[in-house]
Structure 1
């Protein structure tokens, strides 16, 4: 019930586009823009080319916006999470703190298909690495997960030490916990940067877990 209500609300947020042309993806936009494509066939057999363009820096407005293009022209826009009605179903877009965690075509019967990232985008380059060097890609994926697990463990240790520090608080019931790992401010900064890089790598593959990737943000 709640999922259906949220879906309807997302559809209601969609605004019509202004017809402007889709701009080509530039290499310097790899960390600030995501571009995905979806070719579909119309009822009369004509191919329709949809594109989803997300500018991550639009968070300055308080939310991220997704733009839907049809045959190279601006067709609709919505703040994320977005649900765009398209031929035969909808396109669902959801964002995380590090990129996109969902950009899928959902058919009327519930089948789901990820959109194809633009070859020039960071997502497209990561997908090309996966196709050309699958072993390297898997190692990189495992490394990202390990980094996030270590970062999460360190965070839990530090939080446990903080909340049991006050002898008049929780410490009087469970005792004082002292973390076995004592990182300097510089080391904590390095850990933070590495975990952000790991979550960004996962976002390029639209991998997301609320505890791992959400905690890193």
Structure 2
């Protein structure tokens, strides 16, 4: 859950919270965002979502590995990300970044490298598999992947890429590599 404290034009303070259940709702499996004001549900929307709040709106979008965007956009166009709940996994990752910035930076670099390595290994192998389909092979030929790894190594690299993607999702980071992987 991500939080935002807003002071309206009368000086009243409200805490808005956005909850996105990434696994989807139980009855139909669609991913929805819920907006709470001071603990009460005030809006529900499929994603991407845009919720009006005093002084602007909250934009929410989800990607393949977590939230792609959850920002407060002020009426002047400036933006700021919402703050993760300290008890959530995202909040604990933000706390690690605050308390141990070097460890956090090292984990961030490792997660990027894991995802990048996963893509570098998987894409050529996937291209080879696709070009072995008879109609594709007949029209463009068969691509021979320069990367030939045993199944165990492929599984290990795939697991590392998933861990790296999970860590990036916990940091609420989204970049070109995440868009390729999702």
TM norm. shorter chain > 0.5: yes
Q: Which residue of 2 aligns with 1:148?
A: 115
Alignment equivalent of 2:15, drawn from 39, 43, 49: 49
The CA RMSD over aligned residues, in Å, is 1.8
1:8-47 alignment, distance < 5 Å: 35-47=1-13
Q: Which residue of 1 aligns with 2:70?
A: 103
Q: CA deviation at 1:177?
A: 3.9
Judged with a 3 Å threshold, the aligned counterparts in structure 2 of structure 1 residues 53 and 163 are, in CA distance, closer, same or farther, namely closer
Q: CA deviation at 1:41?
A: 0.5
Q: Which residue of 2 aligns with 1:17?
A: none
Query: How many angstroms apart in 2 are the aligned matches of 1:114 and 1:209?
Result: 15
Q: Which residue of 1 aligns with 2:140?
A: 170
Q: Between 190-199 and 102-111, report the one with greater CA deviation.
A: 190-199
Partner SS state of residue 151, structure 1: helix
Judged with a 3 Å threshold, the aligned counterparts in structure 2 of structure 1 residues 118 and 191 are, in CA distance, closer, same or farther, namely same
Runs of 4+ off more than 6 Å: none
Q: Give the number of aligned pairs.
A: 178
Q: CA deviation at 1:51?
A: 0.7
Q: Which residue of 2 aligns with 1:208?
A: 174
CA contact (8 A) 2:6 2:16 kept: yes
Query: How many angstroms apart in 2 are the aligned matches of 1:163 and 1:100?
Result: 30
Query: How many angstroms apart in 1 are the aligned matches of 2:138 and 2:78?
Result: 55
Query: How many angstroms apart in 1 are the aligned matches of 2:140 and 2:111?
Result: 34
CA contact (8 A) 1:126 1:205 kept: yes
User: Gaps spanning 5+ residues in structure 2: where?
Assistant: none
What TM-score do you get using the length of structure 1 for normalisation? 0.75
Partner SS state of residue 68, structure 1: strand
CA contact (8 A) 2:34 2:41 kept: yes
